[in-house]
Structure 1
Amino acid sequence: MDNIAVNKPQPITIKEVAEEAGVSQMTVSRVLNKQKLVKESTRLKVEAAIAALNYRPNLMARSLAGGKSKLIGLAYYNPSPSYLSALLVSALKRCRDLGHHLVIEDLSDIEGDLDTSLIVKRLSSIRLNGLILAPPLSNNLTLLGLLKEMGIPVVALSFRDEESVHSSVAFDDVAAAFEMTELLIAKGHRRIGFIRGPVEHPSSLQRQAGFEKALEKHGIPVDQSLMFQGDFTFVSGLELASKMLDTTSPPTAVFASNDDMAAGISAGAQRRGLKIPSELSIVGFDDTAIAAAIWPRLTTVRQPIAEMAQNAVDIISEITSRTWNGEQLHVTIDAIEIVERESLTEPK
């Protein structure tokens, strides 16, 4: 049988898309990577060219801005499985969209105080292009200093210090906790319990500050007998439920500074025979999966965890590109959304 040569059509290149749209290849790459640095009119021209040429991007093309697919690390030391699940899934998806690879480093197995030298030793063996730090690692100044000396580009999550030598993505926890407390007060609650998160997490202190700021605005004194220390876990909320309900004058509502602890409070209160929310209203923070999985479903602040993770990956992609000007990037997400569900009502 004679060999028959078959001429396969050559795939459309990113260069041809750029020529069709009348833009640079870098601009096409940014549109493909869904970065927010392109004007809407330009984005539409590029998308029209992609459709007209039936262009199908590949991993190499999508990493054009950096010259290669990047290895991005995400390190965490965080006890909240709900928060971590949302963060990791979103970061992984964004890396896949951009043609990068995500390396997840769990540092929770380090006993006692964080050994920053051990962390650095672990990370240096991976040869990362960039690193995302979840709280409380993101505000560990010793660790940040060591990573700077190593030359690893870092994006710190939930870190609002714009004077930092590292890029950051943050959410306005103070304003969000303030709005949630305002809602509780508007419902008629005056005796409101508050469950703090771990003190090493900057968000714990910020959420407490927002809570106390709202009380002060309405002339409600902070009752220390209703302030409790948790650790962002379901178990800590479960254990604190009895302590809170055994106080001389129990609260009519509880604001837990994350959903895991709020779910624990709900479970503990219902074990005691209390009806939620008619006898005790409970609200949380984050709007992770557990908020809608328990009953009554949890009223909570929707923290944009997915958006924060996506922004962090985008920033790493930008600050490790050949066109980066050396300026650190800081993104603060100010939009606040409170999701009202069945766990909140007016007090009796």
Structure 2
Amino acid sequence: MTQSKTTAERVKEPIPAAPAVSTINDVARLAGVSIKTVSRVMNNEPNVREETRTKVKDAANLLKYRPNLLARSLAGARSFLVGLLYDNPSSSYVIDMQAGVIARCRESGYHVLSEPQDSLAPDIGRAIASLLATIRLDGVILTPPLCDMAVVLDAVEAAGVPYVRVSPSLFPGRSALVEMDDTLAAYEMTKHLLGLGHKDIGFLRGHPEHGSSHRRYDGFLKAMREGGLEPRPAWIKQGQNSFASGLEAGKALFGRGGDLPSAIFASNDEMAFGVMAYAQQAGVRIPDEVSVVGFDDTPGSMVIWPHLTTIRQPVTDLAYAAADMLLSRAHVDDDAPSFTDARRELPFELVARDSVRAV
């Protein structure tokens, strides 16, 4: 019977040599180019001939070369890190936002620091200032509601870090931004319901600290009033962009008797799911008795039954565009004052499914 080795015996055993790690010098030598050219290719910088770029990438792949993030950071003024700061109860929104930022950053050899923040914390500005003082970032992406908080913008600007805001409502011209037209999207969805004969339409408002919640409500009101209709106050409910708040709204609408709206427009899909869940508990059939629509087109809209009619918000594309704006700015040597005026608007899509019927 073989006796197991003691800890002391194992410590004395020679440590296996680590596999050799290829360096930028090895890639340059194999590709027959300078180290500077390899660096430019690895950083996806312009003005490199395509033939040379291919040669360097082939050499890097053959040698399994991966740039050392710490060495790159120490060698220059960049950290190759982008910060994504968010406070949103929708996990789907956060995941899609992260996916878009990561996809763009990988193309340029950057990494992403994804940090949840508590927008209601009294020291939110100090917390973000501390984060930026501790970790050197080449840029920051701010999502709602952080992107509309003056104390947050002050902290980022004081740190001297370039930033892009996603779907802000306040402080126009203060920073670069990416957005979609929430007002028009909600207007089009309401017109869709009106076109199907719905006049008694309820509305579930989103989180009051999110600018998009107000824009979506504005679009709803605009379409209703153009149709000569005024929403019934009892059918307008305040939500928090969460499933739980949708459930509460459903209880308020369906659980106390009285007239029902023929359709309910929830400001996001999570709340629409909550409304639909309570409707099932209350025995209210969707869409036979009440039609329900949402906003975002999260994965759950095709899982829930009936499948949810909703607005497809390009969250991943918005995130990708925000990261692209930041990385483009990172390669600019001067102060580029025009960067704060940069703006991109992405399209939305109305996706009609089974949760709506004509009346």
Q: Using a 3 Å threshold, how does the CA distance of structure 1 residues 113 and 286 change in structure 2: closer, same or farther? A: farther
* Post-superposition CA distance 1:174-207 (Å, at most 9, x none): 0010001010111111111101111110000000
1:337 deviates by 0.7
Distance in 2 between residues matched to 1:291 and 1:151, nearest whole Å? 41
1:332 deviates by 3.3
Letter aligned with residue 232 of structure 1:
N
1:152 deviates by 1.3
The yes-or-no answer on 1:127 pairing with 2:139 is no
Counterpart of 2:31 in 1: which secondary structure? coil
Q: How does 1:210-249 map to 2 (within 5 A)?
A: 210-245=219-254, 246=256, 248-249=258-259
Letter aligned with residue 72 of structure 1:
V
Deviates more, 1:210-219 or 1:121-130: 121-130
Distance in 1 between residues matched to 2:194 and 2:52, nearest whole Å? 54
TM norm structure 2: 0.79
TM norm structure 1: 0.81
1:29 deviates by 3.3
The yes-or-no answer on 1:150 pairing with 2:170 is no
Q: Using a 3 Å threshold, how does the CA distance of structure 1 residues 205 and 114 change in structure 2: closer, same or farther? A: farther
Q: Using a 3 Å threshold, how does the CA distance of structure 1 residues 46 and 309 change in structure 2: closer, same or farther? A: farther
- Contact in 1 for aligned 2:79/2:138 (Cα 8 Å): no
Counterpart of 2:44 in 1: which secondary structure? helix
2:30 is aligned to 10
* Post-superposition CA distance 1:264-308 (Å, at most 9, x none): 111111111122111111111111112112111111101110111
1:38 is aligned to none
Counterpart of 2:337 in 1: which secondary structure? coil
Q: Using a 3 Å threshold, how does the CA distance of structure 1 residues 12 and 241 change in structure 2: closer, same or farther? A: farther
Letter aligned with residue 197 of structure 2:
G
Q: Using a 3 Å threshold, how does the CA distance of structure 1 residues 112 and 144 change in structure 2: closer, same or farther? A: closer
1:321 is aligned to 331
Identical pairs, percent: 34
**Out of 103, 116, 125, which is 1:106 matched to?**
116
* Post-superposition CA distance 1:147-175 (Å, at most 9, x none): 11221111111025684332111111000
**Out of 268, 274, 278, which is 1:268 matched to?**
278
- Contact in 2 for aligned 1:283/1:344 (Cα 8 Å): yes
**Out of 278, 300, 323, which is 2:310 matched to?**
300
**Out of 271, 285, 300, which is 1:290 matched to?**
300
- Contact in 1 for aligned 2:81/2:113 (Cα 8 Å): yes
Distance in 2 between residues matched to 1:162 and 1:50, nearest whole Å? 42
Counterpart of 2:343 in 1: which secondary structure? strand
The yes-or-no answer on 1:76 pairing with 2:86 is yes
**Out of 262, 265, 274, which is 1:255 matched to?**
265
**Out of 329, 335, 342, which is 1:330 matched to?**
342
- Contact in 1 for aligned 2:80/2:111 (Cα 8 Å): yes
1:137 deviates by 0.1
- Contact in 1 for aligned 2:79/2:137 (Cα 8 Å): no
Q: Using a 3 Å threshold, how does the CA distance of structure 1 residues 46 and 185 change in structure 2: closer, same or farther? A: farther
1:29 is aligned to 44
For structure 2, which runs of at least 5 residues remain unmatched after alignment? 1-25
Deviates more, 1:213-222 or 1:143-152: 143-152
Number of equivalent positions: 319
1:118 deviates by 2.4
Larger Rg: 2
Distance in 2 between residues matched to 1:166 and 1:54, nearest whole Å? 37
Counterpart of 1:327 in 2: which secondary structure? helix
Distance in 2 between residues matched to 1:12 and 1:333, nearest whole Å? 43
Letter aligned with residue 77 of structure 1:
D
Query: How well do the aligned residues superpose, as a CA RMSD in angstroms?
Result: 3.2
Distance in 2 between residues matched to 1:59 and 1:326, nearest whole Å? 34
Q: Using a 3 Å threshold, how does the CA distance of structure 1 residues 266 and 113 change in structure 2: closer, same or farther? A: farther
- Contact in 1 for aligned 2:132/2:159 (Cα 8 Å): no
- Contact in 2 for aligned 1:59/1:99 (Cα 8 Å): no
2:206 is aligned to 197
Distance in 2 between residues matched to 1:206 and 1:14, nearest whole Å? 53
